[in-house]
Amino acid sequence: MTALESQILEELVRLETAATLPPGGQRPSVLPIVQRLSELTRTLPPETSPDLLHYLHKRSYEKARFWLQGRDAENAEGPCGHV
């Protein structure tokens, strides 16, 4: 995993944590995290895995997180027909 992919994974974990906090408390905004993910995605080199690029461009962030964690086999086929 590259340093850039590690940064993306960190942001994906932060997003997952923020999105799954129980209601009732102060929930952090996910917008800055999504904006940061978009910035990081734009800087990925051309040799980046096409699967990872697909997940990030389609904002399939859970699938991207699974891919980066070596859990791509857990990804279900999406509406676009891509696993």
Neighbours of 72 (CB within 10 A): 16
Cα 14–chain centre separation: 10
Its pTM stands at: 0.84
For residue range 35-79, what is the model confidence (pLDDT) as tens digits? 999 999 999 999 999 999 999 999 999 999 999 999 887 877 766
For residue range 15-45, what is the model confidence (pLDDT) as tens digits? 999 888 777 777 778 999 999 999 999 999 9
For residue range 1-16, what is the model confidence (pLDDT) as tens digits? 999 999 999 999 999 9
Residues 26/7, Cβ–Cβ less than 8 Å: no
How high is the pLDDT of residue 63? 93
* Domain ranges, ordered by start, for the chain: 3-21+29-71
